[in-house]
Amino acid sequence: MKAAPDDQLRLLDLQALDSALDRLAHRRRTLPEIEAADTLAARISQLAGDIVLVETEDSDLGREQSKLEADIDLVRSRQLKDQQRLDAGQVSSPRELENLQSEIESLKKRQSDLEDEELEIMEKREVVQTRLQELRDEREQLLGTLAETEQRRDATFAEIDAESEKTAQQRAELASAMPADLLALYEKVRAASSGVGAAALHRGRCEGCHLQLNTTDLNNLREAPEDEVVRCEECRRILVRTAESGL
C-alpha cells in the first residue's frame, strides 16, 4: 500500500487520540467509586431487610405487651370490685367471705405474675429498640456516604465524558482528512493488536511491540520508498518512519 509520508505521520496523531480515548473509557469503567457505591448499596439493602425484621419483632412484642396490660386491667378491676363488696359488708356468710378473700388473694397473685411478664417483655423490647435505632443510624450514615460517593462518581463521569467528547471530535476531524485505504488498514490492525494499529520506528525499535529491529529489516526499511506503508515484522503493526527512526 502506498500513502503520502505526511499521512503516515498523521497516523501517529490518530493513534495518540485513539489511545487517549481508550484510556478514558478504561478509567470510566474502573472508577473506584463505582465499586464503592455498589458495595454501599448492597449493605444498605441488607440493612433495610434487617430493619424490617427487627421492626416486626418490636411490634410483636408491643402487641404482647398491650394484651398483658389489658389482662392486668381486667384482673385489677375484678379485684377492686371484690374489695368493694368486702368493704361494704355485703357478704355475710363466712363461707362466701372466705371465698371472696381467697379470690382476692389469687387475683393479687395473678396480677403480680402478669406484671412480671410485662416487665420481662418491656426489657426485651428495650433491647430490640436499641438494636433498631443502631440499624437505622447505620443506614442513615451509609445513605449519606452513598450520596457523596455517587456525587463524586458522577462528577468524574462528567469530566471524563467531556474530555472524551473533545478527543473524539479531534479524532473525527483528523480521520476525515486521511486516505480511506490507509485508515481502513489502520483500523483493521488496531482491532487485532490491542488498540495499537500504528507505531513509530524510534532508533531502530518498534514502539508498538518495543522490539529492536534486526539489521536486515532495518536495511529493507532504508530501501523502501518513502510512500510505501511498511509493517513491523514482529507485530505486524504499521511502522511509521520519522526523523528519529535511526535509519
Bridge partners of 200, per DSSP, are 240
Contact with Zn ion (CB under 5 A) among 153, 164, 183, 208 = 208
Contact with Zn ion (CB under 5 A) among 54, 189, 235, 238 = 235
Bridge partners of 2, per DSSP, are 228
Taking CB under 5 A as the binding criterion, the range among 19-27, 67-75, 78-86, 202-210 that sits at the site for Zn ion is: 202-210
DSSP string, 90-126: ---SHHHHHHHHHHHHHHHHHHHHHHHHHHHHHHHHH
User: Is residue 207 packed enough to be buried (19+ CB in 10 Å), middle (13-18) or exposed (0-12)?
Assistant: buried
Query: Cell triple for residue 134?
Result: 443502631
Name the strands in the sheet holding 230-231, side by side, starting at the edge strand that comes first in the sequence. Answer: 205-206, 198-202, 238-241, 230-231
Residue from 132, 152, 131 nearest 40 by CA: 152
Number of residues near Zn ion (by CB under 5 A): 6
Query: Cell triple for residue 125?
Result: 423490647
Contact with Zn ion (CB under 5 A) among 146, 206, 229, 238 = 206
Q: Among residues 37 and 185, whose Cβ is nearest to Zn ion? A: 185
Contact with Zn ion (CB under 5 A) among 78, 160, 234, 247 = 234
Taking CB under 5 A as the binding criterion, the range among 70-78, 136-144, 157-165, 232-240 that sits at the site for Zn ion is: 232-240
Q: How far is the CB of 214 from Zn ion (least distance, A)?
A: 12
Contact with Zn ion (CB under 5 A) among 209, 218, 224, 247 = 209
Is residue 232 part of the contact set for Zn ion (CB under 5 A)?
yes
Bridge partners of 230, per DSSP, are 239
Q: How far is the CB of 27 from Zn ion (least distance, A)?
A: 26
Is residue 197 part of the contact set for Zn ion (CB under 5 A)?
no
Q: How far is the CB of 207 from Zn ion (least distance, A)?
A: 8
Is residue 221 part of the contact set for Zn ion (CB under 5 A)?
no
**3-class state of residue 232 by DSSP:** coil
Binding site for Zn ion (CB under 5 A): 206, 208-209, 232, 234-235
